[in-house]
Amino acid sequence: QAPLHSLSILPEQERTQLIVDFNATSLDYPVEQTIHG
């Protein structure tokens, strides 16, 4: 038997896509400008 948290629901490739690829949202932004304009 294994604890539920140790079971993988997604295949490794899909898990990597969700955690790494979709989460890569860093962008360059102008440092002189504020967020609200």
State the pTM of this model: 0.50
Residue spans per domain, the chain? 4-33
Model pLDDT, residue 27: 84
Model pLDDT, residue 37: 67
For the chain, 37 residues long, give each residue's pLDDT as a single digit of tens: 889 988 889 999 999 999 999 988 888 888 888 878 6
Q: Is 12 helix (H, G, I), strand (E, B) or coil?
A: helix
Query: Which long-range contacts (C-beta less than 8 Å, at least 24 apart) are formed by 10-13?
Result: none
Model pLDDT, residue 25: 87
